[in-house]
A and B are shown apart, each in its own frame.
Chain A
Amino acid sequence: MSAAKGVGDQSKTGPVKDAKPLKSAMAAAQHQKEWFKNAQERVRAGEPFCLANADTPHEIFLAMDDIPIVMMQWWSAIISAKQLSGYYFDRMGDKGYQKNVCRYCALPLACAIEQDPEHEPWGGLPKPTLLLAQLSCDVHTKVFELLARAYNCHFFPFEYPAPAPSYPRWWERLEDDWEEVIGSHVLDLRVEETKALIRYLEVSTGRQFSHKTLLEIMELENEQEEYFKKIRNLIAETRPCPVSLRDQLAATMNLQWHRGTQWAVDHTRMFYEEVKEKADKGEAVCKDEKIRLMWIGRGLWHNTAFYQYFEEKYGAVFTNSMYLSIAADGYIRHHHGDPLRALASRHIYMGYCLRDPEWQLNEAKRYGVNGAVMIVASNCIDSVGNMFIKMVLEQGGVPVLPIYADVVDAREWKDEEIKAQVSQFIEERCMP
């Protein structure tokens, strides 16, 4: 694809930016750092520690006197943000693994195999005593087996029963009708597995699972996610967009890692109040917002500054991504007296929901975007199906540009080329 005209030559003359970093985003990032440091100390002192995939119920660990748990995908993003992914993937290659291994999930493995905490970000990941994932991808079996070998600990797998191709407008039903949307036979299995996990943790850690605490956690989570919904709705309806995608990502994810705590509720409320204040004052990412764009796919962790380029060049603002939207639409559960079952329904198909083309179209309409940029990682099976997102959005009147790159591996990121592609897309398909 040829470069669009004027790439890089308007950055100084583009629309005036009016974005100050969100205090809540900075506070959340700082809290996460402190939490991690504290977790390192606790694990050093002999506490158990779990490394888990993001679509697993960390609430269980919270309800067991707060066993520290870190999400693989967060750790992957941190390694990537520290520009270390290239180093680690090269080491994987040296050990005979194929060049096109899955990146997002394999990066923590690459790090673990090296066993060099001093090279790792933030002083290194504590040594897990348990690994947890649902087998939503063939490669998880392999990656977690190798991780268990590297850390000499157990891997607890959850099954991944096949989701139905689509449940019409699930985002309007999940909060209450989760049993129907997810399916009873699937929930039966997941509840049994969750009980087995609890028993395993009780036996292996000597800690007691607290049903009462789980109930409290579920209530706190609902409260927190209601704030996310208010934030999402506010950003979607406010013109010009009051919060940059970079800030949205940082605040949302760091707050989500602590969901189910009073701290998370308080700081998500702070996030909401801050967004509200910005909206009320008319503060904006770009005062002269001309184009609204949606980001489809995972956050570009090795280069979150990428989004800003188009703000400055075109007044094109990335208004939304899946992270805040799924917080609003995918987490809240009214448990109807069965918190464990409601919890099971929260995580099992979260990944599948994120890639539902109908939901993506609904979000595109909600935010009133002029176009969507969709990142496609060819090393990840989760990206298969993105073409349906493109087709459904375009049938719905929203042009989509797929860009082929990885969100954690900076080695293959071609900054100028991709900026040129997006520029051309904005000029030719998004400008009114």
Chain B
Amino acid sequence: MGPLETMKKHYEQRDVAAQKWKKQGGKVVGYVSDDCPEEMILAAGLFPFRISGDPASGTAETDKYTESFYDPSVRSILNMLLTGKYDFLDYLVIPHASDSILKLYHQLWWIHRVDPSKQFPPLHLFDIVHTRFWQTGQYVRDQVRALKEKLEEWSGKEITASALARAITIGNENKALLKQVAALRASEPAHLSGVEALQIIGSSMVMLKEEHNKLLSQFLKGASQLPAQEGVRLFIEGSDLDNSQFYELVESCDATIVGENSSWGNRYSDDPVDPSGDPFEAIAERYHLRPSRPRIQSIEQRVAYCVRSALEAKAQGVIFFLYEWDPAPSWDQPDQAKALEDKGIPSLSFNMQKYAMSDRDRETLKKDVKQFVASLSKKKKH
């Protein structure tokens, strides 16, 4: 199996590497969102595994305990926790990355309160809070310290500065390689589809990073042989998409997704950890200051990031894809669309979208995407 196929397999069967690690006697720490310092988990000798939802898994168990109107990907994660899909996790770190993710932390506690038969892995809340102020940085530093202590308790060994520095080096290498992958998409013509890009990037979060780096290096060596992607170049903005269903739909309409503002996409490889100085300080600074967290970034920052990224990816158009009950990015959308228009980049917006698409949803979306793509093709010819 070639490197791309291997990464694709890990994206589609996300627990393969973690299960293998467990069989070898290792312990797996699940974490939610990209706001958790995975480098620290690795430095503790544990397997960092980013958990995600799954549109095909339904929400029947979640529906018994929670309302329907919050981030559907988080609802899906809860359903998977309740139905045993994540039983292989030894521990779980939940960062205060968004309201919905914080709710998940509270829900796990309350579910156990109303139904003590429900058990979950031991939890730790990483309280990353919101702003980039210096005072907040002090608080985040304390949170990094608390996470360190918890991981040491779980692993039974100290996280040394040298172990963390090594994990940072591995993680930064991964980000640098992923930036080369992003460049393949930004080139004209693009040499990678959006679906393939999601598979490459997403697999990085469910595999051991060193192994992923080897696969990426192998893959990039053969990159010159990759076929050109001829579709209309599109950039995706909006909700974090932890699956490829929308990308598959869009790319079946003579389009290629050349970039996105998503923590499951190109944004994941932004902002490497500063390798100089104290590694714990560097981790605290990176997770406190990195600017690209959509739910806490200002509209102005989100507009700038969207426009810059779309231009860098040489996108001909932008599609906003916003899940229902994911309000924060929806507040950015009117200003983002306006700023893109000012730069001559047309956009199409899909609001209040379902996490699990029905056939009817697909048909409607496809029709609109095709129309949008056709208008962009026409524009290009003129």
Cβ-defined partner of A142 (8 Å) among B66, B135, B299, B337: B299
Asked if B106 is an interface residue, CB under 8 A from chain A, the answer is: yes
Instruction: Determine which residue in B68, B142, B298, B322 has the highest number of CB atoms from chain A within 10 A of its CB, and name it.
Output: B298
Asked if B330 is an interface residue, CB under 8 A from chain A, the answer is: yes
Q: B114: which A residues are within 8 A, CB to CB?
A: 388, 391-392, 395
User: Are B298's CB and A141's CB within 8 A?
Assistant: yes
Cβ-defined partner of B299 (8 Å) among A145, A159, A386: A145
User: Are B105's CB and A162's CB within 8 A?
Assistant: yes
Q: B66: which A residues are within 8 A, CB to CB?
A: 384-385, 387
**Please, how many angstroms separate the alpha-carbon atoms of A157 and B129 in the complex?**
12
Q: A162: which B residues are within 8 A, CB to CB?
A: 96, 102, 105, 125, 127, 129
Q: A137: which B residues are within 8 A, CB to CB?
A: 99
**Please, how many angstroms separate the alpha-carbon atoms of A355 and B337 in the complex?**
37
User: Are A383's CB and B69's CB within 8 A?
Assistant: yes
Interface 0/1 of B95-139, CB less than 8 Å to A:
010111011011101100110000000000101011100011011
Known: A100-B324, A138-B296. A161 touches B113 (CB 8 A): no
- Least CB distance, A141 to chain B, in whole angstroms: 6
- Least CB distance, B93 to chain A, in whole angstroms: 13
User: Are A98's CB and B322's CB within 8 A?
Assistant: yes
Interface on chain B toward A: helix, strand, loop, or mixed SS? helix
Cβ-defined partner of A384 (8 Å) among B69, B298, B334: B69
User: Are B327's CB and A385's CB within 8 A?
Assistant: no
User: Are B328's CB and A101's CB within 8 A?
Assistant: no
Cβ-defined partner of B142 (8 Å) among A185, A383, A387: A185
User: Are B127's CB and A161's CB within 8 A?
Assistant: yes
User: Are A165's CB and B109's CB within 8 A?
Assistant: yes
Asked if A234 is an interface residue, CB under 8 A from chain B, the answer is: no
A372-419: which have CB < 8 Å to B? 376, 378-379, 381, 383-388, 391-392, 395
Cβ-defined partner of A138 (8 Å) among B142, B324, B328: B328
Question: Interface size (B, Cβ < 8 Å)?
Answer: 48
Asked if A192 is an interface residue, CB under 8 A from chain B, the answer is: yes
Q: A166: which B residues are within 8 A, CB to CB?
A: 109-110, 113
Q: Name the residue on A nearest B296 (C-beta).
A: A141
Asked if B352 is an interface residue, CB under 8 A from chain A, the answer is: yes
Q: B106: which A residues are within 8 A, CB to CB?
A: 165, 385
B278-318: which have CB < 8 Å to A? 295-300
Cβ-defined partner of B67 (8 Å) among A98, A99, A192, A378: A378
A95-114: which have CB < 8 Å to B? 95-102
Known: A139-B327, A161-B127. A385 touches B139 (CB 8 A): no
User: Are A98's CB and B352's CB within 8 A?
Assistant: yes
Cβ-defined partner of B334 (8 Å) among A96, A100, A392: A96
Q: B130: which A residues are within 8 A, CB to CB?
A: 135, 141, 157, 159-160
Asked if B65 is an interface residue, CB under 8 A from chain A, the answer is: yes
Cβ-defined partner of B135 (8 Å) among A96, A98, A192, A385: A192
- Least CB distance, A252 to chain B, in whole angstroms: 27
Asked if A48 is an interface residue, CB under 8 A from chain B, the answer is: no
**Please, how many angstroms separate the alpha-carbon atoms of A92 and B70 in the complex?**
21
**Please, how many angstroms separate the alpha-carbon atoms of A381 and B142 in the complex?**
27
User: Are A138's CB and B125's CB within 8 A?
Assistant: no
Q: Name the residue on A nearest B139 (C-beta).
A: A189
User: Are A376's CB and B142's CB within 8 A?
Assistant: no
**Please, how many angstroms separate the alpha-carbon atoms of A295 and B331 in the complex?**
31
Known: A141-B130, A143-B331, A161-B127. A189 touches B298 (CB 8 A): no
Asked if B243 is an interface residue, CB under 8 A from chain A, the answer is: no
- Least CB distance, B254 to chain A, in whole angstroms: 28
- Least CB distance, A161 to chain B, in whole angstroms: 5
- Least CB distance, A268 to chain B, in whole angstroms: 33
Q: Name the residue on A nearest B115 (C-beta).
A: A391
User: Are A157's CB and B131's CB within 8 A?
Assistant: yes
Asked if A196 is an interface residue, CB under 8 A from chain B, the answer is: yes
Asked if A146 is an interface residue, CB under 8 A from chain B, the answer is: yes
**Please, how many angstroms separate the alpha-carbon atoms of A383 and B138 in the complex?**
31
- Least CB distance, A296 to chain B, in whole angstroms: 14
Known: A162-B102, A381-B70. A101 touches B113 (CB 8 A): no
- Least CB distance, B73 to chain A, in whole angstroms: 14
**Please, how many angstroms separate the alpha-carbon atoms of A146 and B303 in the complex?**
13
Across the A-B interface, the 10 shortest Cβ-Cβ residue pairs: A165-B109, A96-B334, A142-B331, A378-B69, A138-B328, A138-B295, A388-B110, A381-B99, A98-B330, A135-B130
Known: A97-B330, A98-B322. 14 other contacts (CB 8 A): A97-B331, A135-B130, A138-B295, A141-B295, A143-B331, A159-B136, A162-B105, A162-B125, A166-B110, A196-B135, A379-B69, A381-B70, A381-B327, A391-B65
Q: Jot down 15 A-B pairs with beta carbons below 8 A, ordered by A.
A: A96-B334, A100-B325, A102-B327, A135-B131, A138-B295, A139-B327, A142-B298, A159-B136, A159-B139, A161-B96, A166-B110, A185-B139, A378-B67, A384-B103, A392-B114
Binding site for B on A (CB under 8 A): 95-102, 135, 137-139, 141-143, 145-146, 157, 159-162, 165-166, 185, 189, 192-193, 196, 357, 376, 378-379, 381, 383-388, 391-392, 395
